Homo-oligomer: A and B are copies of this chain.
Amino acid sequence: MRSGDKGSDYLLGIDIGGTKLAVGVVTRDGRVVAQERIPTQANQGPDMVIARVQELCRTVVRKAGITWEQVLACGVGCGGPLDIKRGRVMNPPNLPGWLDVPLVQTLEEAFGRPVYLDNDANAAALGEHRFGAGRGVRNMVYLTISTGIGGGLIFGGRLYSGENGNAGEIGHMSLNVNGRPCNCGGRGCLEAYASGTSIAARAREAVEAGESSLLTDLAGSPDAISGETVKEALLRGDALARRIWDETMEILGAGLANVINIFNPQRIVLGGGITNYGDLLFVPVRRIALARAMRPLASAVEIVPAELGNDVGILGAAAVVLERLEARTEVETHV
């Protein structure tokens, strides 16, 4: 399968997000040959969105100058929860109205190619592991830090997805058992402090409680304070933004120390919009995480930025295909 068989040497990577759809034709070594992005318009509901996904796929295959016979298989990354075994989407918060949608079957019938589905965080972890910051690493934890916090786990070079495909919810690790309420119903979760949404919410609360800050001026009103406003105020030396940021780094560093103590990974890869803060994030987070973690485990790990940037959705979805095919081959050759 790996060589010869030149007829099907491309993968179609499909990234279904709450705000945008991205589709790309990808080679097995991770080169994006053609891609397209359009708004999801999730409010239109699953039928319309899936129709637009199909149209986008056909456009991209045409743009790449290949035939569908040259597409080995399609990979789909999509917000969870999913029923991966049955290929269904089970009402993700970012896709309203997707109640038990048979996405895999629908796309397989439309394209006549095999379709493999996984959640977006697992797909991104697989993409970074195969094509990005995790190449060649056996034990890796991937975290995406943006509006929410998701995670993916690679153990022994393979995705670990748990008993029903939901492992890696590191955003919902509580770091403060009586802390801030989280969307998941828990308290004090990493996501309740360190996601972009929570950074902005904590800044707004402080401003509304009367703390003086550049934040209101920069945003126009307390309601309009976003993660970007906090970053801007931080760069201008605002004391409140600095306090909010320092608290965020403390909790993110403590969260990564937990990840290190639990998984003893070789590499932690951090992606998502908040990691665009660069050294503002990586310098304190590394210092705090490595100081808090146990020594023999801290000495084994690197904490690095993701490498795939905006392509992570497409490349991650493509990596889902390769992971599934290889895992299947292993089982078949196994005694």
Contact = CB atoms under 8 A, between A and B. Distances in A.
Interface stretch (A26-34, A158-166, A234-242, A317-325): A158-166
Contacts of A292: 174, 185-187
A175 B174 contact: yes
Nearest to A169: B261
Contact of A156 (B160, B173, B250): B160
A120 to B, nearest CB: 16
A192 to B, nearest CB: 12
Nearest to A333: B335
Contact of A167 (B163, B173, B264, B330): B264
A227 to B, nearest CB: 21
A301 interface: yes
Contacts of A300: 162-164, 166
Contact of A162 (B139, B177, B185, B186): B139
Contact of A265 (B163, B172, B177, B297): B163
A257 interface: yes
Interface string A14-31: 000000000000000000
Contacts of A276: none
Interface in A248-266: 250-251, 254, 257-258, 261-266
Nearest to A175: B177
A296 interface: yes
Interface in A77-135: 81
Given A251-B177, A334-B334, A263 B297 contact: no
Interface in A170-190: 170, 172-177, 184-187
Contact of A166 (B151, B170, B297): B297
Given A177-B251, A186-B257, A334-B330, A294 B163 contact: no
A292 B169 CA distance: 13
Query: Which one of A162, A165, A294, A296 has the highest number of Cβ atoms from chain B below 10 Å of its Cβ?
Result: A162
A243 interface: no
A170 B177 CA distance: 16
A155 B160 contact: yes
Nearest to A156: B160
15 contacts: A163-B265, A164-B264, A166-B294, A166-B296, A167-B262, A169-B264, A169-B294, A169-B297, A173-B173, A173-B261, A173-B262, A184-B261, A185-B292, A262-B262, A330-B334
Interface of A: 81, 138-139, 151, 155-156, 160-170, 172-177, 184-187, 250-251, 254, 257-258, 261-266, 292-294, 296-297, 300-301, 330, 333-335
Given A176-B176, A177-B254, 18 more contacts: A138-B163, A139-B163, A163-B265, A164-B296, A164-B297, A166-B300, A169-B261, A169-B297, A172-B261, A172-B294, A174-B257, A175-B175, A177-B250, A184-B294, A186-B257, A186-B292, A187-B292, A262-B262
Closest 10 CB pairs of A and B: A162-B264, A167-B264, A169-B261, A177-B254, A163-B300, A163-B266, A172-B261, A166-B264, A173-B258, A164-B300
